[in-house]
Structure 1
Amino acid sequence: MYEPHQWYELGLLRSPGWVRLALEMRAGWEYGASLAATPLLSLAPRGDGHPVLVFPGLITGDLSTLPLRNYLSSRGYATYPWGLGINRGPRAGVIDACLERLDKLSQEHGRSLSLIGWSLGGLYARELAKARPDVVRQVITMGTPFTGHPKATNAWRIYEWATGHKIGAPDIHEPLRSPPPVPTTSIFSRSDGVVAWQCSLERESPHTDNIEVQASHLGMGLNPLTLYALADRLAQAEGDWRPFDRSGLRSYLYPDPRRPASY
C-alpha cells in the first residue's frame, strides 16, 4: 500500500481533470443548499462558547468564510476571521501575525482555540497548532493539501504567482505531512475539482480523523454537510475528542473515507 505522497511519482495521482474542475461551478448551489437546510442545521449540537479562528483559502479573504462563521456563531461559538486581508500565502510576517492573533485571543478568552482552515488556510491552522499546541484545542481542515504531491492540484501555478515561492522543495513540504499534536480532522471530497482528494487524507492515529463529504472545493466551506460536521466536531468536550460517528443515517451522508480509492 503506497502513501499518498508516493502516488504522484508512480503515475497514480494527478490534479483533478477538467470535468471535476468544471463542476466547481456548483459552489453557489451548495450555499443555496445550506440556506435551505437551515432548519436541519439548527439541530446540530451547540457549543460551549469557546473561541474559533477561521483561515481562508488562497487568494480569498474573510468574506469567503463569513457564512461559515455566522453559522458557527449561531451554534454558540466565539468565531473570529483571520484578519489579514487576502490570503496570498505565507509571505514574510504572515505566520508571526497569525501567532500573535492566536496568543491574543487565547489570553482574552482564557482558554484554548479551535482552528479551522479552508484549503491553504488549513496549512496555517496545522502549523500554528504545531507551534502553539498549548493554546489550540483542535484543528479542522477543509480540502487542505497537506500530503501527496504539491503539484497534484489545479492551483499550484496560482500559488507560485501569488507567493513567489516555487512548489516542490522537500524541506518545505515534507514537514507539512505530519499532523499537529492536537486532535485533527480533515474534511475532504472525492469530487474536489481543485485538490486531488488523496492529498487531504490524514494518516490514522488516535487523534486524527478524515470526514468525506460530497462537495466542491470552492463550496466546501458553504456546504451543509461540511457545516454539520464542523458543528459536531467543535461540540466535543475539551479533552474528550473522539472520531466522527458515521453510524445510522449518517452513513448515507458521510461515506467511509477508508473505502478503496479509484484514481
Structure 2
Amino acid sequence: MSEAQPAAPPRRPLSPVPGGWLGRPLAETRWALEAGRLLVDPVAYGLGVPRGDGRAVVVLPGFLAGDDSLLLLRRWLRLVGHRPQTVGFTMNVDCSDRAVERVEQVLEALHAESGRRAAVIGHSRGGHFARAVSARRPDLVSHAISMGADLQGLFGISTPTKMAVGVARRGLHLARRSRDPACFRSRCACRFMEDYRRPFPVDRVRLTSIYSKGDGVVRWERAVVEEATCVEVTGSHIGLMANRKAYRAIAAALAEPELAGEGDPVDAHA
C-alpha cells in the first residue's frame, strides 16, 4: 500500500478587480523627469546605499518591454556590488507559463554555477513572474522584489492596458503559443497561475513590493499584500524602472540577510 501524499497547500484566492479605470496616461509621461532626477542623485553612483556581495540578481521587464528597458537598473546593480542577469526577453508578451519556465532555467544555471540562491527583481508583469518563480522554487530564490505589480490578482490595471492585454492574448492564440485556452486571463489553469496563487514561502524568501500611489497603469492598492514588505515611493508606473527612491528600497531589500529554510543551501556570504 502506497504512502499517503501530504495535502497540497490551499490556493490563495485572487482578489476581485474593481470596475473600469482609465488610469493616468498623461501622468506616465513624467518618467523621463524621474530618470533625470535619478541621474543627479547620489544613489545613482552607489552613495549612501548598502553594498552587495556579488549575489546574482535576475531582472525581469514589464508587459510589452524587453531586457533593454531595465538597462539602467542593471548597470546600477553592478555598480553597487551585485551581479545582474537577464533572461532574454525582447518583448514581454509570451505565455506566462513559458516565460516563467525560462526564468527557472536561468536560476538553475546560476545556482549550479555559484551554489547560491539568486535574487529576482520584476517590474510590473515581471513582478508577477518574480512572485510565481519564488513560490515554485524557493530553493533557488533568496529575495524577490516587485515594482508596481498587482500581487493580488494580475489584472488590477487600467482599461487601456487591459485592451493591450487582449491584443496580446489573441496574438498568442493565433501563434499557438498559449498552453491553456484561458491564457492571459485570471482563470487560466497553467502552472504559472498555480504558483502565483500559491501561499508565498515567507519563511524562505524575502518578498518586497515597491509601489507608488501615483501609478497610472496599475492600481497601487493591488501591490500591497501582507506577505511582503511594502514600500511606498513617489512617481509613475513606468518611472519605477529609474526611480531614485525605488533604487534605495531595492538596495535595502537586497541587503537583508537571506532566510534559510529546510533544504536550502547555506550561504557563507549571508
Instruction: Flag whether TM exceeds 0.5 (same fold).
Output: yes
Distance 1:238 1:187, change over 3 A: same
Post-superposition offset of 1:86: 1.6
Q: Which residue of 1 aligns with 2:135?
A: 130
CA distance in 1, matches of 2:76, 2:194: 34
Is 2:166 aligned against 1:160? yes
Q: Which amino acid aligns with 2:51?
A: R
CA distance in 2, matches of 1:97, 1:175: 15
Post-superposition offset of 1:97: 2.0
Q: Which residue of 1 aligns with 2:187?
A: 169
CA distance in 2, matches of 1:37, 1:179: 38
Is 2:250 aligned against 1:230? yes
Q: How does 1:182-201 map to 2 (within 5 A)?
A: 182-201=205-224
Q: Which amino acid aligns with 2:122?
A: G
CA distance in 2, matches of 1:131, 1:92: 12
Q: Which amino acid aligns with 1:202?
A: V
Q: Deviations over 1:174-225 (max 9, x none)?
A: 863555312111101111000111111112x4xx211111010111110000
CA distance in 2, matches of 1:118, 1:91: 14
Is 2:82 aligned against 1:77? yes
**Secondary structure of the structure 2 residue equivalent to 1:193:** coil
The TM-score, its normalising length taken from structure 2, stands at 0.77
What percent of counterpart residues are identical? 32
The TM-score, its normalising length taken from structure 1, stands at 0.78
**Secondary structure of the structure 2 residue equivalent to 1:139:** strand
| Unpaired stretches in structure 1, ≥5 consecutive residues | 241-263
CA distance in 1, matches of 2:93, 2:157: 19
CA distance in 2, matches of 1:24, 1:48: 34
Post-superposition offset of 1:65: 0.5
Which of 35, 43, 51 is the equivalent residue of 2:39?
35
Distance 1:227 1:78, change over 3 A: same
Of the two, which has the highest radius of gyration?
Answer: 2
Post-superposition offset of 1:85: 2.1
Preserved contact between residue 54 and residue 69 of structure 1 (Cα < 8 Å): yes
Distance 1:122 1:43, change over 3 A: same
Q: Which residue of 2 aligns with 1:22?
A: 26
Q: How does 1:34-53 map to 2 (within 5 A)?
A: 34-38=38-42, 41-53=46-58
| Unpaired stretches in structure 2, ≥5 consecutive residues | 1-12, 171-182, 261-270
Post-superposition offset of 1:163: 3.5
Q: Which residue of 1 aligns with 2:68?
A: 63
